[in-house]
């Protein structure tokens, strides 16, 4: 039986802890004490751990000051609180001042199942990638989480790191480090239809690929884990090899993951039929779990496979493309 995947937060905290034991400049600031993996860190390295209280805005300001003093600082909190609640501090204290702080968010997208719109983070890519001087990374498994953590420790910069709440199945087998420079990696080769995704939705893209294979359509799935800065020239050259480009994200589409890809292709003069698949442009109040909301939003595996089949069908090439933006669904 395969081992249960580790929680992404545990992978990050354990790697940071191992390095902090050897380097007193590494500091961890957390507004959330709910992670059991923090207990050992707090007990063994109390001078390198700061709990600022449930005050994420203050946490970012404190981190900026510590970074100015030469410390390597990670800040950690629930995704919705460390982004929207702290936006001004992220913009001014870290972005404008260009402070090398790693902002770790846990539970992106619909990850906090049934907690409602205050805890969902369906717009963070659009908001955070708009900030100058920031990097935006989304790991998809244990290996990618660990390697990105190492990068943040060894080469500090203003980075926004998007972690999922659950552990996710392995995608990489020792090859993630070699792909980090490009910011994307082909994880499942196939035909001349390309699906770009990241994080939790990358695994859904892989499931869609398997269903499409059974229906006779081969697609390629690529993990675009560094959303900013995009390696626009390399990404455009890569995408130009395919007949169709599809992006899949757990975000409202305005300004999000698919928008970043579309901008990169346009800027590099690459024109391809493109379909952006994501959440409807609204808030989500429904309960029933992450899978339920995705299904009802048109992002279930079968529905996605159907949309991609229709989008890539020969008849579709001679008529107007299907709309990218999903329609709101009545529950």
pLDDT: is 265 or 4 the higher one?
265
Kindly tell me if the per-residue pLDDT of 94 is higher than 50: yes
Distance CA(118)–CA(181), nearest Å, equals 35
Q: How sure is the predictor about 320, in pLDDT bands with cuts at 50, 70 and 90?
A: very low
* pLDDT value of residue 330: 33
Same domain assignment for residues 124 and 152:
yes
Query: Which neighbouring-strand residues pair with 35?
Result: none
Q: What is the CATH number of the domain that holds 65?
A: 3.40.50.970
Distance CA 78, CA 59 (A): 13
- Shared domain for 149 and 210, answered yes or no, is no
**Mean of pLDDT over the chain:** 93
Question: Is 217 in the same domain as 274?
Answer: yes
In the chain, % of residues over pLDDT 90: 88
In a domain, 294, yes or no: yes
Going by pLDDT thresholds of 50, 70 and 90, the confidence category of residue 315 is: very low
pLDDT tens column, 7-65 = 999 999 999 999 999 999 999 999 887 778 899 999 999 999 999 988 999 999 999 99
- Tell me, yes or no, whether 213 and 284 share the same domain: yes
Claim to verify: residue 134 and residue 206 sit in the same structural domain: no
78-82, 150-154, 319-323: segment of lowest average pLDDT: 319-323
- Tell me, yes or no, whether 285 and 313 share the same domain: yes
**Per-residue model confidence (pLDDT) at position 2:** 66
The domain boundary, picked from 163, 193, 219, lies at 163
The whole-number pLDDT of residue 319 equals: 41
Provide the residue range defining the domain that includes 76: 8-163
In terms of domains, do 194 and 267 share one?
A: yes
The reply to whether 326 falls in a domain is no
Question: Do 159 and 23 share a structural domain?
Answer: yes
Question: For 156-209, how does the pLDDT look when each residue is reduced to its tens digit (9 = 90+)?
Answer: 999 999 999 999 999 999 999 999 999 999 999 999 999 999 999 999 999 999
Closest to 6 measured CA to CA, from 121, 141, 127, 131: 141
**Domain count of the fold of the chain:** 2
CA–CA–CA angle 49, 99, 130 (5° rounding)? 115
pLDDT of residue 12: 97
**pLDDT band (50, 70, 90) for residue 3:** confident
Q: Where are the alpha helices (DSSP H) in the chain?
A: 8-20, 37-44, 56-68, 79-83, 87-89, 124-129, 142-154, 176-179, 199-214, 232-239, 257-267, 290-296, 301-312
Task: Give 318's pLDDT tier (boundaries 50, 70, 90).
Answer: very low
pLDDT of residue 201: 98
Same domain for 146 and 275: no
171 occurs within a structural domain:
no
CA atoms within 13 A on the CB side of 221: 22
Assess whether 56 and 18 both reside in one domain.
yes
> Across residues 65-78, what is the average pLDDT?
97
Q: Are residues 88 and 235 in the same domain?
A: no
Classify residue 33 as exposed, middle or buried by CB count within 10 Å of its CB (0-12, 13-18, 19+): exposed
Structure tokens at 259: 């928008």
In a domain, 88, yes or no: yes
Q: How far apart are CA 94 and CA 36, in angstroms?
A: 28
**137 pLDDT above the threshold of 60:** yes
Same domain, 212 and 146: no
What mean pLDDT comes out for the span 216-231?
97
Residue 215 clears pLDDT 70, i.e. is over it? yes
Q: What is the pLDDT of residue 174?
A: 95
CATH number, residue 231: 3.40.50.920
């Amino acid at each position: 039986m395969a081992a249960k995947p580790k929680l992404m937060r545990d992978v990050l905290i354990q790697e940071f802890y191992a390095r902090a034991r050897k380097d007193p400049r590494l500091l961890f600031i957390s507004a959330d004490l709910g992670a059991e993996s923090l207990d050992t860190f707090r007990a063994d390295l109390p001078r390198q751990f700061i709990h600022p209280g449930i005050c994420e805005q203050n946490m970012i300001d404190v981190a900026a000051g510590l970074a100015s003093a030469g410390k390597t600082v990670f800040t950690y909190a629930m995704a919705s609180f460390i982004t929207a609640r702290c936006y001004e501090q992220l913009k001014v204290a870290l972005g404008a001042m260009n402070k090398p702080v790693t902002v770790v968010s846990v539970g992106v997208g619909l990850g906090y199942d049934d907690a409602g719109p205050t805890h969902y983070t369906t717009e963070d890519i659009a908001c955070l990638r708009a900030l100058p001087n920031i990097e935006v990374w989304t790991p998809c498994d244990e290996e990618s989480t660990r390697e990105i953590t190492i990068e943040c420790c060894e080469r500090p910069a203003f980075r926004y790191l998007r972690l999922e709440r659950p552990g996710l199945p392995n995608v990489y087998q020792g090859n993630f480090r070699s792909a980090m420079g490009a910011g994307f990696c082909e994880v499942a080769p196939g035909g001349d239809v390309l699906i770009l995704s990241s994080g939790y939705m990358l695994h859904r893209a892989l499931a869609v690929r398997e269903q499409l294979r059974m229906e006779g359509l081969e697609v390629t799935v690529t993990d675009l884990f560094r959303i900013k800065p995009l390696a626009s020239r390399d990404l455009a050259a890569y995408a130009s090899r395919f007949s169709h480009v599809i992006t899949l994200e757990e975000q409202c589409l305005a300004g999000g993951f698919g928008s970043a890809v579309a901008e990169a292709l346009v800027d590099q003069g690459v024109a391809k039929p493109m379909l952006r698949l994501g959440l409807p442009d609204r808030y989500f109040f429904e309960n029933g779990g992450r899978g339920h909301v995705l299904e009802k939003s048109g992002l279930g595996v079968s529905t996605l496979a159907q949309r991609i089949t229709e989008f890539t069908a020969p008849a579709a090439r001679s008529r107007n493309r299907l709309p990218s933006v999903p329609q709101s669904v009545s529950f």
